[in-house]
Amino acid sequence: RQTSPVSPPQAFSLDFVPNPVFSPRINDSDYFGYSVSSGTFVRGQLHYVAGAPRGADSRGKVLVFQFGEVEESSLQVLVERSGDQVGEYFGASVTAVDVNGDGLSDLVVGAPLYSEGAAPDRGAVYVFLNSGGGQVRLQGERLRGEAVAGGRFGSVVASPGDLNLDGFLDLVVGAPYEGGGAVYVFLGGAGGLRRQYSQRIGAEDVPQRGGRPLAGFGISISRGADVDKNLYPGGGLALLAGVFLFRFRHAF
């Protein structure tokens, strides 16, 4: 018989979750927290990442921050970055991953409604390399998939781990409306992520069951896990009505 109350499990290491309304850098309509991640942007410290795709006058923005000591404290912002286009939804997806192996997290931001020429909403991904001391710099040009209008490349960004076992973490990007959907693999390296994707997995490449075409393939991607103990991380990829598990092998 239970005679004393049991404390609920703690989802956070903090006793409170500060209210972002006290931060002057956040407006009500920014959609702050639309995407979240965390990483080591300063050695020995944990920072949180949150996207606000309607912030910065609808260009979208991302904050890397720590919480204050009390609920009424404003967020302690380390990095703030904004998108280039109005309505590109910069910050719809974020992840913190060390792509160049320097021991510090780099910032990857998806902008799935980025438009270019005759391809509106083709999507793009921004990669900001950590320069140390709380500074990040844009790594050259944005990452892109195929120039498909409405493909929304960058709807999801995630790291599956080190797919080719070269010592650098890699990145996968979802483009769920590129036809039936697609997932792209980008490899990390000493200079950051390689601009050209190493593999594209389209819905048309996945064996179909029941004769119904896939839709929304790549709308959600899990982190990598070595489920078959072959030293290569696998990843789960979701579509609108199902989940696929992909196992990777060294072929890059």
Tens digit of pLDDT for each residue in 132-170? 988 999 999 999 999 999 999 999 999 988 888 899 999
Query: Which region among 171-175, 195-199, 230-234 has the lowest average model confidence (pLDDT)?
Result: 230-234
Whether residue 15 lies inside any domain: the answer is no
Amino acid present at 37: S
pLDDT over threshold 80, residue 131: yes
Q: What is the pLDDT of residue 244?
A: 55
CA distance 96 to 39: 5
- Segment 84-109 shows an average pLDDT of 98
pTM listed for this prediction? 0.83
Confidence of residue 13 (pLDDT cuts 50, 70, 90): low
- Segment 17-44 shows an average pLDDT of 86
pLDDT over threshold 90, residue 71: no
Query: Which region among 58-62, 157-161, 224-228 has the lowest average model confidence (pLDDT)?
Result: 224-228
Q: Report residue 203: phi and psi, to 5°.
A: -55, -30
Whether residue 169 lies inside any domain: the answer is yes
CA distance 129 to 106: 5
Whether residue 77 lies inside any domain: the answer is no
**Distances, alpha carbon 101 to alpha carbons 114, 163, 169, in Å:** 29, 14, 7
Whether residue 50 lies inside any domain: the answer is no
pLDDT over threshold 60, residue 173: yes
Whether residue 82 lies inside any domain: the answer is no
How many domains in the chain? 1
Where is pLDDT greater, at 138 or 244?
138
- Segment 165-182 shows an average pLDDT of 93
CA distance 89 to 10: 32
Whether residue 161 lies inside any domain: the answer is yes
Average pLDDT, the chain: 84
Q: What is the pLDDT of residue 2?
A: 44
- Which of 164, 167, 205, 215 shows the shortest CA–CA distance to 186? 164
Q: What is the pLDDT of residue 70?
A: 76
Q: What is the pLDDT of residue 123?
A: 98
Share of the chain above pLDDT 90, in %: 60
What CATH number is attached to the domain comprising 113? 2.130.10.130
Whether residue 29 lies inside any domain: the answer is no
**Domain around 226:** 92-246
Neighbours of 250 (CB within 10 A): 11
Residue with tokens 């029941």: 210
Whether residue 131 lies inside any domain: the answer is yes
